[in-house]
Amino acid sequence: MSFLSVVLTILTLVGSIGLFLYGMKLMSEALQKVAGQRMRSALSTLTLNPFRGLASGLVLTAAIQSSSASTVMITGLVNAGLLSLRQSIPLILGANIGTTLKVWIIASIGFRLDLNLVLLPVIAMSLLFLFSSIPRKKSVGELLMGFGLLFLGLELLKNSLPPVSEIPQLVAFLREFNSGGYLSILFFVVVGAVFTAIIQSSSASITLTLAMLNSGWFSYDLAVAMLLGENIGTTITANLAALVANTHAKRAALSHFLFNLIGVAFVLLWFYPFINITGWITTAITGQVYSDSSAAMLLGLSVVHTFFNILNALIWVNLVPVMVRLTIFIFPDKVQALKTPPRFIRKSHLLGTSEFSILQAKKQVHTVSRLVNQFFNTIPELLVEKEPEAYKSLQLRIASLKQELEIAAMSVDQFLDELNENDLSPEGRTRKKVMVYVNEQFRNIMTVNLKMIKIVEEKNQRKVWFTPKQRLNLKKMFDLVKESIRAASENLSGEYHLAQFEYAHEIENSINLLRDKLRQKNLENIEKGKYTVEGGNYYNDLFSLSEKVGDYILLINDSLTSCRLQLISGTPQ
């Protein structure tokens, strides 16, 4: 082959892989949007025992057809505190099994049928949905388009690989490796791992391996070695995502790498017996000896992939505590003296995980609500504390809470701003809008709280004291507002469409009635001279601003109704 031909072949290969990757990305993101809320809820609840978690991870990855995306999602849930490390491990093992489905489809259909008879009709069908104004129909169109592009990339990949006989230099190169024994096996394991780590897609790298095996580029045992390496390389995506995550998420991502690395090392100890066992299974399934034809070898490689991941999962699902202890040993807990911004796992540049990013943001919004509650609770403490040292300590705690609250609210805003609404299901888009609005109201509450703190500090500096009756009435108001914030926080911790609104309105009505009563009584007491005008003004400001906090809390609760309405109507609000 001439130099120009070699360059053209390489560019064609890269373009085919790129089209395959884009089709996979489009299909995976569309599946996430179609599944939406149901998939998120199922993943966070189906982890009651290891084997159920294993099944959940399998179903999840079989549904979205990307183990890398699944693992990034699972790691994100651990980072958000919605899954424990112990719960995440069976899910990741299940994801390893779920990804084998695509290899079976590609090996059995992609290399045996004339895809040209299917691809263009599928892409044509996608156009019926792709330009729909209904989000769910549009997602179905993207799903079909992704499926078509994925197999179009596969078809181009098959056709762009020249027969090995046309490249004598390659024949000589591969002959050297075929005679290298275990060193050759290890080399191809490393090649598979590195290549997969670079493109961050085991599906694409395995498909390329199938295509090269189909074209006779290397022997079956070297293809098996390369596939084993690809199982290691696929773990890089979650580990890269976890670099900015918390320690628990780092452990979850590391466990994925350790599963596959140790599993591959275990198989390499009995590599050729492993090939013989999987070959026997292939013969039992197909009725052909795996070495008889390229079609049988392709199915044999699918058997190898599935058998390896099932065997690995069955071994490790019974050793979950061992993996937990190992990852904790590698990533021990660290005591952080300073408050740091909460770290979110961002969307992978190859695989969309925006639907699960909503869960991370939801968890942090709930954290903001708890910080707001703590911040408000400092006001009545500041009002009654008279001991100088304790008063100074309380002021320092207020300053620390203020900083922590500002950081948490800012991180939520930044993270939600980065989420592309086009990557979200209709439910996801509604929840994103609600979270942006809720976060804004929490900022307003913080502003009101700072005003109240300033009033209390000014009152104390001017040595203006409240009567026992005033302090009792303020305590009643503060308690109502605290309960209002607590109820809102509880609504924000659960599913938004299941939030309880009636109780929130009852509390707000009680706050308004008390505010009106206190305002009228305050004017009467000032006129009667029961306390000074200055004291009455401070008193009025505090219960009026407390009622203002209640108003913002009611706005937060009412905003959650859009999630319930959206769920009923099926269209974003």
Calpha distance 261→192 (Å, rounded): 13
Token pair, residue 59, equals 């179903």
Q: Are 251 and 85 in contact (CB under 8 A)?
A: yes
User: Please, is 163 exposed, middle or buried when counting C-beta atoms within 10 Å of its C-beta (0-12, 13-18, 19+)?
Assistant: exposed
Q: Which helix (H) or strand (E) holds 55?
A: helix 50-64
Radius of gyration of the chain (CA): 30
- Residue 532 CA, chain-centre distance (Å), reads 57
Task: Give the orientation angle of helix 247-268 with respect to helix 85-98, to 10 degrees.
Answer: 50
Say what the pLDDT of residue 244 is: 64
d(CA 429, CA 355): 9
382 within 8 A of 392, measured Cβ to Cβ: no
Q: What span, in angstroms and rounded, lies between the C-alpha atoms of 152 and 447? A: 56
Say if residues 150 and 20 touch (Cβ distance below 8 Å): yes
Q: How far is CA 487 from CA 123, 383, 551, in A?
A: 49, 24, 14
Look up tokens 């660290």; give the residue.
334
Label residue 570 left, alpha or beta by phi (over 0 means left) and psi (-120 to 50 means alpha): left
pLDDT at 41: 55
Torsion angle (degrees, nearest 10) of CA 258, 264, 268, 273: 130
Tens digit of each residue's pLDDT, the chain (573 residues): 566 776 777 788 788 778 877 877 777 677 666 665 555 555 555 555 666 777 777 766 665 656 666 777 777 777 766 677 888 888 888 888 888 887 787 777 766 556 566 677 888 888 888 887 777 788 788 878 887 887 777 677 767 666 545 555 555 665 566 655 788 889 889 988 988 888 777 777 888 888 888 777 778 888 899 999 988 988 887 787 777 667 888 888 899 899 899 999 999 999 989 998 988 888 888 777 767 677 788 888 889 999 999 999 999 988 888 999 999 998 887 654 444 445 555 544 434 456 667 777 888 888 899 999 999 999 999 888 888 888 889 989 999 999 988 988 888 888 888 777 666 777 778 888 889 999 999 999 999 999 999 999 898 888 888 888 999 999 999 999 999 999 888 888 877 767 777 888 899 999 999 999 999 999 998 888 888 899 899 999 999 999 999 999 999 988 887 776 554 444 444
| Residue 203 burial (CB count, 10 A) | 24
Is 156 in contact with 15 (CB distance < 8 Å)? yes
**What distance in Å separates the CA atoms of residue 130 and residue 124, rounded to the nearest whole number?**
10
- H or E stretch covering 114: none
Contact 564, 497 (CB under 8 A): yes
C-alpha dist (Å) from residue 389 to 127, 394, 396: 71, 9, 11
Helix (H) or strand (E) segment spanning residue 284:
helix 271-286
**Residue 130 structure tokens:** 């792709």
End-to-end CA distance of the chain: 60
Both structure tokens of 70: 């699944």
Query: Among 495, 506, 464, 466, which residue's Cα sits nearest to residue 560?
Result: 495
In the chain, the amino acid numbered 180 is G
Token code pair at residue 441 = 């109201």
pLDDT at 446: 93
Query: Options 2.60.40.10, 3.30.70.1290, 1.20.58.220, 2.120.10.70; which CATH number does 354-569 get?
Result: 1.20.58.220
Residue ranges, CATH 1.20.58.220, the chain: 354-569
Give the integer Cα–Cα distance in Å for 93 and 54. Answer: 6
